[in-house]
Structure 1
């Protein structure tokens, strides 16, 4: 099994205001806040191919490179890392989980912001336990461990599992995520098939959107069927400020992806 991965806490504690706060919030949204998935209903896939990926991200006219890597221990355990840094802000996050019967079984999640987004979040889940532990704004919370509950990062790997297990992955979804002080259920709808222009060329994708109660907020994701449903693009809009993440390069099992892959 994958071992716990701990991110050292940041030694500074800054409070940002105005445009800096907006930028910090925008970059924080790049930390895998999109969605997780309910247990699989189709024939289960019990392994994920490791990958590395880089994404160009933008918020308020500023850009950074986001690095993501999924590692496997070869025995059903995985470690997923994700992060990026700009002059005034950055973040790094790690999820440790396993895969069993076509489901992600989350173990731990740690998010550490730096600079203007100096904040820390953690989620620790013991399979079969009635509660889970969540760190939010310096306080620990005991939350109900509902079946299928995922953390903010490993949820995206559960998306890949669902797609890999379903020959026609276009169903609307209801998902459960441990986020801060709450366990949240999200509604996800399939939008359609789309070609997305990337630095690698045009990529065939499936487009999904999360439904928000606030009509001024939108969250969307595009995944590539030809690349094990790797995330190609995400867009989040809040307070009229879009944050976009777009794939620039990736490799799966050490083999670089390219447009036209079968």
Structure 2
């Protein structure tokens, strides 16, 4: 897989979380729209990460990675079951970057199953109560960090099977960004099945807003950094 394609696909499945929420109501994040950017072999990639409130009471989390070589869009629609994010629908669409691809997951919590529709093929898979989709876990991770939880392990419906995503806090660092300097915690996601390692720098003062993301694979390192933040309808001019 070409490196630029690998990076953009990585951005669609790694840690992108963060919204300004009160600790007392961490289970109900406010809306946000954050913009990140990077360059891969001189190609600019712009990442939009947005949480919005839907008319039916659900929330929607959008991830969009866009460049002139292709686009990846992911959407998760979810609601809350107590302290747990409960995904309802997940959509994935990739154009360019090789072969186009579309997928849709529908969660049936009454029967504890998820219906997978991928490239016009459909099948059902058993799930447990706390399963997340490939985007909704970000909101669950945010809430768990705000609550001070240390067991950051999530079961994800991914590719027709359940996968385990594991995170741990490994350092505390101060970063400079286009919208100011900010204190962060550095969180690592590691994988048992390959040598990719992903680091995310999150700002506790802003209730774990994602500041920077880096992926290291086969000796290559690529990162994205926050350029713009809009939280609860207000632009954040300086961190």
Structure 1 and Structure 2 fold alike (TM over 0.5): yes
Report the counterpart of residue 7 of structure 1 in structure 2.
none
Equivalences, count? 233
More strand by share: 2
1:1-262 to 2 correspondences below 5 Å: 21-34=2-15, 45-73=26-54, 76-117=57-98, 118-136=100-118, 139-164=121-146, 166=147, 168-169=148-149, 171-214=150-193, 216-260=195-239
Shift of 1:222: 1.8
Note the residue ranges of structure 1 that are not aligned, 5 or more in a row. 1-17, 37-41
SS in 2 for 1:160: helix
Q: CA RMSD of the aligned region, Å?
A: 2.5
- Matches of 2:129 and 2:228, distance apart in 1: 35
Equivalent-residue separation in structure 1 for 2:124 and 2:213 (angstroms): 31
Q: Deviations over 1:195-226 (max 9, x none)?
A: 12211121211221112225631012222122
CA-CA distance at 1:44 after TM superposition: 6.9
Cα distance change of structure 1 residues 69 and 89 upon mapping to structure 2, 3 Å threshold: same
Contact 2:14 2:198 in 1 (8 A): no
List alignment gaps of at least 5 residues for structure 2. 18-22
Moved over 6 A (4+): none
Please tell me whether the aligned partners of residues 35 and 177 of structure 1 are also in contact (alpha carbons under 8 angstroms): no
Secondary structure (helix, strand or coil) at the match of 1:125 reads strand
SS in 1 for 2:108: coil
1:228 to partner: Cα distance: 2.7
Name whichever of 200-209 and 56-65 sits farther off: 56-65
Q: Deviations over 1:109-151 (max 9, x none)?
A: 1111111242223222122323212244653342221221111
